[in-house]
């Protein structure tokens, strides 16, 4: 299998086998690197998604400021973005605190119970 061309099915299966052997389930691939999930800082959880306007409501478990880069992850969600603006009770704010439900514009569809992490 080691002498097959780089893009052959055999080569790709070999790479997948190596990755799955090293992947214990307590890790995630972040920016192309395998990292322990414990290294990621959880910021909150998606409580609602308004698809017509592309806005997500997030119940914060930690503080979050405008300009911060976040990573949203769920069963079918996985992307990073910068928080461009934020609202609490339809009022623009620069920072949300733990226990507040905030609303932010998101670049892709999210789902209820997706987790929001601080991106590195």
The answer to whether residues 48 and 14 belong to one domain is: no
Q: What is the tally of structural domains in the chain?
A: 2
36-92 pLDDT per residue, tens: 655 789 999 999 999 999 999 999 999 999 999 999 999 999 999 999 999 999 999
Is the Cβ–Cβ distance between 88 and 102 less than 8 Å? yes
What global pTM score does this model have?
0.70
The answer to whether residues 13 and 50 belong to one domain is: no
| DSSP letter (8 states) at residue 38 | G
The answer to whether residues 103 and 74 belong to one domain is: yes
The answer to whether residues 67 and 99 belong to one domain is: yes
Rounded Cα distance, 117 and 62, in Å: 10
Say what the pLDDT of residue 13 is.
Answer: 67
Residue span of the structural domain in which 56 resides: 40-118
């Amino acid at each position: 299998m080691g002498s097959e061309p780089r893009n052959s099915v055999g080569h790709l299966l070999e790479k997948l086998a190596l990755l799955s052997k090293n992947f214990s389930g307590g890790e995630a691939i972040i920016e192309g690197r395998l990292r322990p999930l414990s290294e990621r800082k959880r910021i909150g959880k998606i409580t609602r998604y308004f698809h017509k306007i592309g806005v997500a409501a997030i119940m914060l478990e930690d503080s979050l400021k405008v300009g911060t880069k976040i990573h949203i992850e769920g069963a079918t969600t996985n992307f990073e973005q910068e928080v461009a603006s934020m609202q609490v009770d339809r009022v623009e704010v620069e920072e949300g605190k733990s226990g507040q439900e905030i609303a932010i514009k998101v670049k892709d569809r999210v789902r209820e119970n997706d987790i929001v992490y601080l991106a590195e």
